[in-house]
Amino acid sequence: MLFKILQNIARKVFEKAITDIDDYLRHKRKRGELKNTGKKKKYFLTRFGDILYARTRYQDRQGKAHYLLDEALSISKNQKISLCRAMIECFLSTFSSYREVVNQARLLLGNFYSYESIRRGVIKGAKLIIENQKRKLQKIRNLEYPEGNSLDAAYLEADATYITL
């Protein structure tokens, strides 16, 4: 009971803080470059639950949309879950099956995604890691080092979900 109350308080404080940051960015933006086109609501899953906040949408001279709040908080375009929450779920996924992670997340965080959402998040995170590793390897290969055999990395996903037929 106390855990739920504290989560509700944390959600309200976080929503208020985000709203204040958005107002501050709105007043401090460069006038004439970005046009305010109104507010848009967004759901975001954090360690203390699902929050709903309104962020100001801006349009530049080329017609491209910008959200200064998302840029300030380093939130990517379609990101629906906080990085800390995603790291917790990925960490728990390394020890047990995705179905068990749902129960662990319920105990640890009080709220949860489905096991399939957690699995997709782990796969998405792994793809980002692989892309970053490829970019780093490409930077190394672009340097003028003598040709040699580079070791390839192997990535393995394991899920201990057993289905009886």
pLDDT bin (cut points 50, 70, 90) of residue 164 is low
Residue 102 to residue 92: CA distance in whole angstroms: 9
| Cβ within 8 Å of residue 7, ≥6 positions away | 48, 49, 110, 111
Q: What average pLDDT score do residues 111-135 get?
A: 82
**Is pLDDT at 149 greater than 70 in this prediction?**
no
CA angle 151, 153, 154 (to 5 degrees): 135
**Is pLDDT at 162 greater than 80 in this prediction?**
no
Look at residue 155 in the predicted model and tell me its pLDDT.
61
Domain residue ranges in the chain: 2-80, 86-142
**Is pLDDT at 54 greater than 80 in this prediction?**
yes
| Chain segment 57-93, per-residue pLDDT in tens | 999 889 898 899 988 988 888 888 888 888 888 888 8
Look at residue 119 in the predicted model and tell me its pLDDT.
85
Lowest mean pLDDT among 87-91, 93-97, 124-128, 152-156: 152-156
Is 59 in contact with 29 (CB distance < 8 Å)?
no
Alpha helices for the chain (secondary structure H): 2-28, 68-73, 83-93, 98-109, 115-142
Average pLDDT in the chain: 82
More confident site: 155 or 97 = 97
**Is pLDDT at 151 greater than 60 in this prediction?**
no
